[in-house]
Amino acid sequence: MIEGAEARRMSGALEKLVADALAALCRGDTALAMRMLEDAERRDPNDLDVLLLRATIFAAHDRVEEARAVLDRAILSHPNDPVARSAEAALLLDAFDDPQGALSLFQDVVRLLRSDELAEENNEAGRELLHDALLRCAECHALLEDPARALDAANEACAARPSSGAAHVARAQALLALGRLSDAARAVDEGLAHDEAIGLGHFTRGQLRAFLGDEDGARAAFARAASLDPERCPLPLPLDPERFARDVRGCLAHLPRAIAASFAHVEVVAADWPSTAALARESAPRSPLSLVLLDGEIDGRPRVALYRRCFELAHVDADEVREIAAGLVVDALARQAERLPPIS
């Protein structure tokens, strides 16, 4: 059995080997990273950092199913370690587009980090992991269209790290989705005061300014966001008003004929922004940036409105408007049907 100083020496050597392999991977030298991984696996194939390294290499080369299998093994081998669960949650969210599965794991991470068993390990690294997990919880709730819970998670992230600009921006996004515009504006200002380089913060500021009619301010904010984070915050895609209205009005014709016939009684209209009246008709708070809302009736026919400026902010390409609009109309009517009381 290996004891004492020898065990610590081996642990330190393994830690350095994993760190060097990650550095090689970042440089694009996958072959060297793989050789180092194989060396590390010979020393201790069940070490958590070694398992995470293999999963990272797989994920970096789009072998996401294999990466997930390795992370499943890591969680089984280290059931009380939040890092393995956090890694798999991130993979589910970023590679598998599974916010529900990711949310469950991120919530496990939060629970583990707050448990009595790990109290001694909740150092600065633990607090950072907690903050990050809460932020990802907020992201998952937002993707699952639950802005109230997204706000709760963002508030917790702010409490975990009050100086986190990202946490305040997450609060702003949730508040905007709930239609609380003044609160959202204050939250985004606070987030950017902590970290001016958050592209998503500038984009959220641009959304608020656009809806409130400050077009010059919105353009400046969107330009700043795109310069900081072009992948997540590209400039809004302009849509021609006449073409948008034409595509929206004819969107149901995009559906198969039998399905389109069942929606022949529906009036589909185009507008620039959701009206206060349309937002007020919703049974739950809705974002002023909603792509689609039920907007009353015309001669007894349900009217569904789709909003050009909101499509622009969602980066919908002009060639995709008709197909996306058709899906949104069907979904809005289906949600309304679910809320109606049963016919007795």
Q: What would the DSSP string read from start to end of 15-74? A: HHHHHHHHHHHHTT-HHHHHHHHHHHHHH-TT-HHHHHHHHHHHHHTT-HHHHHHHHHHH
pLDDT single digits (tens) 28-45: 999 999 999 999 999 999
d(CA 28, CA 230): 22
DSSP 120: G
Within the chain, all domains assigned CATH 3.30.2010.20 are found at 241-336
Residues 261-279 have a mean pLDDT of: 89
Q: Tell which residue, 89, 39, 42, has the closest CA to residue 67.
A: 89
pLDDT single digits (tens) 228-238: 999 999 999 99
pLDDT above 90 coverage of the chain, percent: 75
The partner residues of 307 in beta bridges, in order of sequence, read: 271
Residues 182-208 have a mean pLDDT of: 98
Residues 239-244 have a mean pLDDT of: 97
Q: Regarding beta strands 301-307 and 267-271, do their DSSP bridges make them parallel or antiparallel, or are they unpaired?
A: parallel
pLDDT single digits (tens) 293-343: 988 777 778 889 999 999 999 999 999 999 999 999 998 888 776 654 443
Question: Using 50, 70 and 90 to split pLDDT, how confident is the model at 254?
Answer: confident
d(CA 187, CA 176): 10
Fold classified for 7-116+123-197:
1.25.40
Within the chain, all domains assigned CATH 1.25.40.10 are found at 7-116+123-197
pLDDT on residue 256: 85
In this predicted structure, the answer to whether residue 7 has a pLDDT above a threshold of 90 is no
DSSP 251: G
Fold classified for 241-336:
Zincin-like (3.30.2010)
pLDDT on residue 13: 83
Q: Is 302 helix (H, G, I), strand (E, B) or coil?
A: strand
**Which phi and psi (to 5°) does residue 315 adopt?**
60, 40
Judged by average pLDDT, the poorest of 106-115, 122-131, 199-208, 330-339 is 330-339
The C-alpha angle 234, 235, 237, rounded to 5 degrees, equals 110
pLDDT on residue 340: 45
Tell me the whole-structure pTM to 2 decimals: 0.87
